[in-house]
Amino acid sequence: MYDVIVVGSGITGGWAAKEFCEKGFKTLVIERGRNIQHQGPEYTDMQMPWQIENRNKVPEIFSEEGRYSIIERKGYFKNATKQFFIDDKEHPISYPKESPFKWIRGYQLGGRSLTWGRQSLRWGVKDFQANEKDGNGVPWPIGYDDLAPWYAYVEKFIGVSANKDGLDTLPDGVFQKPWEMSCAEKFIAENLKKAYSDRHLIIGRSANITEPTKEQAELGRGQCQARSYCNRGCTFGGYFSSLSATLPAAKKTGNLTVVTDSIVETVDYDDKSGKATGVTVIDAHTKEKRQYRSKIIFLCASALGSVQILLNSKSKTFPNGIANSSGAVGHYIMDHFSGVIANAKVPGFDNKYSIGRRPIATYIPNYRHEQKDDADFIRGFGFQGTAQHRSNTGTTAKKVGIGAEVKMNSNQPGPWRFRAIMYGEMLPRFENYARLHPTEKDQWGIPILHIDARIRENERKMIKRAAIDIKEILSAGGCVDIKINEFPETKPIAVGDRVHEMGGACMGEDPKSSVLNKWAQSHDVKNLFVTDGACMSSCATQNPSLTYMAITARAVDYAAKLFFKGLL
């Protein structure tokens, strides 16, 4: 019997483990994927480009066999990183043909904390108010003020390098020294300051440490070395992951047990006591089942992973899945979406250069919390962009031209160019859902998920406006030769593509319409908490991981207090 079971070892599971262990709880972390050693042989960050197997090309047999189909074209899926992503052929999901869903996963100790983008952005006051304001989704039972101290708590531990920008829409936090902007980015930023009061280009806020604290150093973490090899695993511990930070902190307490290669099939529930009693797992290799018992259970299995477990955990009290008296489990599935990519020349600076590989982009925060006259949609969008390096003439690998002269003109510095991609807020809709497939099961006998979540009219209208806005912003920023790629209405946009899938067990005041209360505690089962992306009632525009971590730390604090009072 454990005090706590944490399901999942990713960005929230690691936090739950750390917090509980540090409070003295005997904590079991159950990870469905394999064990990975921090700084171990699966990290490829210390390999030169010519040392990486296959010169970093993924074996073509994957494509021939229909493996890794949803991820094969992604820039981050290379031979040096493929070990950190699952093959969707082995882990199928179901979705309507006309609205494919992308569920990009990493089944290993640390989960997707090994490969995340590290953009660490707080939500603002208005982000938490959006559902109540426009009537979409379930109103958040918490606001910025509830989470602010936990954002600070998390930022201090993980290490966020950022600038204090003084923006209400993107509150400042506890920061280390920010990364530099390039001369081109500074030029745009300065021009935007002159042109707008509400549109800003700022340096991104990155979970890559620039000034290691004593606590970080004691965990074996070092300063980020500007390599941008984060998703190969970082031998320096320069970026935050479960492996580099939270799990080592948990382990130091002596209270942590980790079990890998174990897939949680159900959260087990005692109808008489009204409590969750533990979990049943299936061994990933032998397929044998076993149970673990605990007093408290935290689901941190990723949004859809937790939803799958909840729905599959049926009992007399919960015939539709544990904690699902509301019928809301599996609903309000969201992701950020894009639909606009911009590219513009920044004139001048021909005698300026850059060096090093900055691990974070710049950011234009959402400025459309209040609907403006030119908007026929609600909510808003931000942009992530970069002109970190000058453009390059490239080579003629895919163009006409061979020989000496062509070679000498290759890879020469070109002008500075700024590229930006839109991140839009998808409305929370009940009809965007995930449920258990009625007949299809995975190789462990667990029903696979069927996910039907779509970009709809509001999102399409947002794309149209974002295309106009970014052109105007870049022009005001002093850019020329502005090229906008706006996805046409007919082009499908797969939900899940931004890898920020969330929702499915949303927080809310009313147990009839939500799954979790303001502490991410199940309304129905008091010793069950869900603190990964499933708990999100809306998705705002900011990268969500910092918010997940803050919600987790806060929930653990609450659960621990309840436990010590004998209330769990």
Q: State which of residues 193, 352, 372, 441 lies at the interface with other proteins (CB under 8 A).
A: 352
Binding to other proteins (CB under 8 A) within 220-249 occurs at: 225-227
Query: Does 75 sit near other proteins (CB under 8 A)?
Result: no
Query: Does 291 sit near other proteins (CB under 8 A)?
Result: no
Query: Does 521 sit near other proteins (CB under 8 A)?
Result: no
Binding to other proteins (CB under 8 A) within 135-174 occurs at: none
The structure tokens listed for 36 are: 């990975």
Q: State which of residues 75, 286, 408, 491 lies at the interface with other proteins (CB under 8 A).
A: 408
Burial of residue 222 (CB within 10 Å: 0-12, 13-18, 19+) is middle
Query: Does 73 sit near other proteins (CB under 8 A)?
Result: no
Q: State which of residues 46, 174, 259, 476 lies at the interface with other proteins (CB under 8 A).
A: 46
CB of 362 to other proteins, least distance (A): 10
The stretch among 27-35, 49-57, 421-429, 547-555 that binds other proteins (CB under 8 A) is: 49-57
Name the residue nearer to other proteins (CB basis): 37 or 411: 411
Strand partners, 28: 5, 257
Q: State which of residues 407, 441, 456, 483 lies at the interface with other proteins (CB under 8 A).
A: 407
Query: Does 348 sit near other proteins (CB under 8 A)?
Result: no
Burial of residue 86 (CB within 10 Å: 0-12, 13-18, 19+) is middle
Q: State which of residues 83, 371, 396, 513 lies at the interface with other proteins (CB under 8 A).
A: 396
The structure tokens listed for 203 are: 């340096």
The structure tokens listed for 346 are: 């920044």
- Residues composing the chain: 568
CB of 294 to other proteins, least distance (A): 43
Query: Does 53 sit near other proteins (CB under 8 A)?
Result: yes
Query: Does 60 sit near other proteins (CB under 8 A)?
Result: yes
CB of 514 to other proteins, least distance (A): 43
Name the residue nearer to other proteins (CB basis): 358 or 368: 358
Q: What is the rounded radius of gyration, in angstroms, for the C-alpha atoms of the chain?
A: 23
Smallest CA-to-CA distance from 514 within 379, 333, 336, 323 is with 323
∠ CA 67-446-7 to the nearest 5 degrees?
Answer: 95
Q: State which of residues 49, 75, 135, 254 lies at the interface with other proteins (CB under 8 A).
A: 49
CB within 8 A of 490, min separation 6: which ones? none
Strand partners, 263: 282
Q: State which of residues 180, 190, 472, 557 lies at the interface with other proteins (CB under 8 A).
A: 180
Kindly give the residue spans of alpha helices, DSSP state H, lying in 159-275. 183-195, 214-218, 247-252
Name the residue nearer to other proteins (CB basis): 63 or 443: 63
Name the residue nearer to other proteins (CB basis): 254 or 403: 403
Query: Does 347 sit near other proteins (CB under 8 A)?
Result: no
Binding to other proteins (CB under 8 A) within 409-428 occurs at: 411
Instruction: For residues 39 and 45, give the distance between their C-alpha atoms in angstroms, rounded to a whole number.
Output: 9
Query: Does 372 sit near other proteins (CB under 8 A)?
Result: no
The structure tokens listed for 327 are: 């019928």
Taking the C-alpha atoms of 520, 523, 527 and 528 in order, what is their torsion angle to the nearest 10 degrees?
A: -60
Query: Does 395 sit near other proteins (CB under 8 A)?
Result: yes
CB of 63 to other proteins, least distance (A): 7
CB of 229 to other proteins, least distance (A): 9
Contact 510, 523 (CB under 8 A): no
Name the residue nearer to other proteins (CB basis): 225 or 260: 225
CB of 27 to other proteins, least distance (A): 35
CB of 47 to other proteins, least distance (A): 8
The stretch among 140-148, 347-355, 365-373, 375-383 that binds other proteins (CB under 8 A) is: 347-355
Query: Does 272 sit near other proteins (CB under 8 A)?
Result: no
Instruction: For residues 558 and 147, give the distance between their C-alpha atoms in angstroms, rounded to a whole number.
Output: 13
Name the residue nearer to other proteins (CB basis): 60 or 374: 60
Name the residue nearer to other proteins (CB basis): 237 or 339: 237
Burial 482-514 (b: 16+ CB within 10 A, else e): bebebbeeeeebbbbbbbbbbbbbbbbeebebb
# residues contacting other proteins (CB under 8 A): 48
Instruction: For residues 27 and 32, give the distance between their C-alpha atoms in angstroms, rounded to a whole number.
Output: 16
Instruction: For residues 330 and 311, give the distance between their C-alpha atoms in angstroms, rounded to a whole number.
Output: 8
Name the residue nearer to other proteins (CB basis): 85 or 103: 85
Name the residue nearer to other proteins (CB basis): 93 or 192: 192
Output the 3-class SS for 141-181: CCCHHHHHHHHHHHHHHHCCECCCCCECCECCCCCECCCCC
The stretch among 26-34, 58-66, 91-99, 474-482 that binds other proteins (CB under 8 A) is: 58-66
Amino acid at 455: I
CB of 210 to other proteins, least distance (A): 8
Q: Is 535 helix (H, G, I), strand (E, B) or coil?
A: helix
Name the residue nearer to other proteins (CB basis): 403 or 438: 403
Name the residue nearer to other proteins (CB basis): 361 or 534: 361
Q: State which of residues 86, 183, 189, 484 lies at the interface with other proteins (CB under 8 A).
A: 183
Q: Give me the long-range contacts of 43-46 (CB less than 8 A, separation at least 24).
A: 43/232, 43/233, 43/234, 43/235, 44/80, 44/81, 44/229, 44/232, 44/233, 45/227, 45/229, 45/232, 45/233, 45/234, 45/235, 46/235
Residues of this chain that bind other proteins (CB under 8 A): 46, 48-50, 53-61, 63-64, 179-186, 225-227, 351-358, 388, 395-404, 407-408, 411
